Structure 1
Amino acid sequence: MSRRSQPPSPDSSPRVAKRPRLEYAPLTSEDYKHGLMLAPMVRSGALPTRLYALKHGAKLVWGPETIDKAILHTTRGVDPVTGVVSYHGKSKAIFTTHPIEKPFLIYQIGSADPELAVQAAKMVQQDVSGFDLNCGCPKPFSTHGGMGAALLTNPDLLCSILTALREAMPPEITVSAKIRLLPSQEDTLKLVERIVNTGISALTVHCRTRNMRMKEKAVIERLREIVEFVERMGKGVAVIENGDCLGYEDSKRVREVTGAHSVMIATAAEANPTCFSPTPLKDLELTFVPSYIRLGKYLGNHWSSTKFCSTQFQGQHKSASRADLKALREAIVHAKSYEDMEEHVAPWTGEKEFAEIVEAIERRGGQRAPPIALQPVAPAPTLAQIASETTKDQVALQEAPDAAPASQSIPAAVLGLDIPPAAAEAIAV
Structure 2
Amino acid sequence: MRHTPPTRSPTPDAKRTCTEIPSDKAGPSTSSWTRHPVHYGKGIHLAPMVRSGTMPTRLLALEAGAELVWTPETVDRAIIGCERRVDPKTGVITYIKSHKPVLTLHPVERPRLIFQLGSANPDLAAEAAKIIYQDVAGIDLNCGCPKHFSVHAGMGAGLLLDPDKLCAILQAIRASIPPEVPVSCKIRMLPSQEDTLSLVRQIADTGTINCLTVHCRTPPMRDREPAMKHRLKDIVQSVGKKVVVVENGDCVGYESAQQILQQTTARAVMIARAAEANPTCFLPDGPKDAETYLIPRYVRLAKYLDHHWSNTKFCLAQFTSPDPHLGKHGRLEWKKAINGAKSYEELRLLWGKEAGFFEGGEEILAGIQHALRARGRSAPELGVLSTPGPALSQQSASSVIDPAPPDPILVREIQAVV
Q: Distance in 1 between matches of 2:313 and 2:145?
A: 24
Residues 23-57 of structure 1: per-residue CA shift (max 9 Å, x gap): 755435xx111210000000010000000110000
- AA paired with 2:247? E
Q: What residue in structure 2 maps to residue 3 of structure 1?
A: none
**What secondary structure does 1:100 align onto?**
coil
Verify: 1:154 aligned to 2:158, yes or no. no
Verify: 1:171 aligned to 2:182, yes or no. no
Greater mean alpha carbon deviation, residues 343-352 or residues 212-221: 343-352
Q: What residue in structure 1 maps to residue 414 of structure 2?
A: none
Residues 94-136 of structure 1: per-residue CA shift (max 9 Å, x gap): 1000111111010000000000001111111110010000000
8 Å contact 1:271–1:314 — kept in the other structure?
yes
Q: What residue in structure 1 maps to residue 37 of structure 2?
A: 27
Q: 1:39 aligned to 47, 65, 85, which one? A: 47
Q: Does the C-alpha gap of structure 1 residues 312 and 132 become closer, same or farther in structure 2, counting only changes over 3 Å?
A: same
CA root-mean-square deviation: 2.3
8 Å contact 1:282–1:316 — kept in the other structure?
no
Verify: 1:202 aligned to 2:211, yes or no. yes
Which runs of 5 or more residues in structure 2 are unaligned? Answer: 1-16, 382-386, 393-418
**What secondary structure does 1:27 align onto?**
coil
Q: 2:335 aligned to 306, 313, 329, which one? A: 329
1:20-419 paired onto structure 2 within 5 Å: 25-28=35-38, 31-198=39-206, 199-231=208-240, 234-235=241-242, 237-343=243-349, 344=351, 346-366=357-377, 377=391
Percent of matched pairs sharing the same residue:
50
Q: What residue in structure 2 maps to residue 402 of structure 1?
A: none
How far off its partner does 1:365 sit? 3.3
Larger CA Rg, structure 1 vs 2: 1
Greater mean alpha carbon deviation, residues 319-328 or residues 148-157: 319-328
- AA paired with 1:341? L
**What secondary structure does 1:118 align onto?**
helix
Q: Distance in 1 between matches of 2:136 and 2:336?
A: 37
**What secondary structure does 2:108 align onto?**
helix
- AA paired with 2:216? C
How far off its partner does 1:20 sit? 6.5
- AA paired with 1:220? K
- AA paired with 1:267? R
How far off its partner does 1:352 sit? 2.1
How far off its partner does 1:317 sit? 2.1
Q: Distance in 1 between matches of 2:44 and 2:237?
A: 20
Q: Does the C-alpha gap of structure 1 residues 336 and 185 become closer, same or farther in structure 2, counting only changes over 3 Å?
A: same
Q: Distance in 1 between matches of 2:130 and 2:141?
A: 14
Number of residue pairs matched by the alignment: 363
Q: Does the C-alpha gap of structure 1 residues 331 and 374 become closer, same or farther in structure 2, counting only changes over 3 Å?
A: farther
- AA paired with 1:331? A
8 Å contact 2:41–2:388 — kept in the other structure?
no
8 Å contact 1:84–1:97 — kept in the other structure?
yes
Residues 118-164 of structure 1: per-residue CA shift (max 9 Å, x gap): 11111111100100000000011222310000000000100000011
Q: Distance in 1 between matches of 2:97 and 2:342?
A: 22
Q: Does the C-alpha gap of structure 1 residues 206 and 368 become closer, same or farther in structure 2, counting only changes over 3 Å?
A: farther
Could you state the TM-score of these two structures normalised by the residue count of structure 1?
Answer: 0.80
Q: What residue in structure 2 maps to residue 387 of structure 1?
A: none
8 Å contact 1:201–1:238 — kept in the other structure?
yes
Q: Distance in 1 between matches of 2:344 and 2:88?
A: 21
Could you state the TM-score of these two structures normalised by the residue count of structure 2?
Answer: 0.82
- AA paired with 1:100? V
Q: Does the C-alpha gap of structure 1 residues 27 and 315 become closer, same or farther in structure 2, counting only changes over 3 Å?
A: same
8 Å contact 1:35–1:58 — kept in the other structure?
yes
Q: Distance in 2 between matches of 1:350 and 1:35?
A: 27
Q: Does the C-alpha gap of structure 1 residues 361 and 114 become closer, same or farther in structure 2, counting only changes over 3 Å?
A: same
8 Å contact 1:54–1:361 — kept in the other structure?
yes
- AA paired with 2:50? V
Q: Does the C-alpha gap of structure 1 residues 65 and 112 become closer, same or farther in structure 2, counting only changes over 3 Å?
A: same
- AA paired with 1:347? F
- AA paired with 2:125? A
How far off its partner does 1:354 sit? 1.3
Which runs of 5 or more residues in structure 1 are unaligned? Answer: 1-8, 379-429
- AA paired with 1:19? P
Q: Distance in 2 between matches of 1:291 and 1:374?
A: 32
Residues 214-244 of structure 1: per-residue CA shift (max 9 Å, x gap): 111100000000001111xx42x10000000
Greater mean alpha carbon deviation, residues 315-324 or residues 56-65: 315-324
Q: Does the C-alpha gap of structure 1 residues 24 and 364 become closer, same or farther in structure 2, counting only changes over 3 Å?
A: farther
8 Å contact 1:342–1:348 — kept in the other structure?
no
How far off its partner does 1:364 sit? 1.4
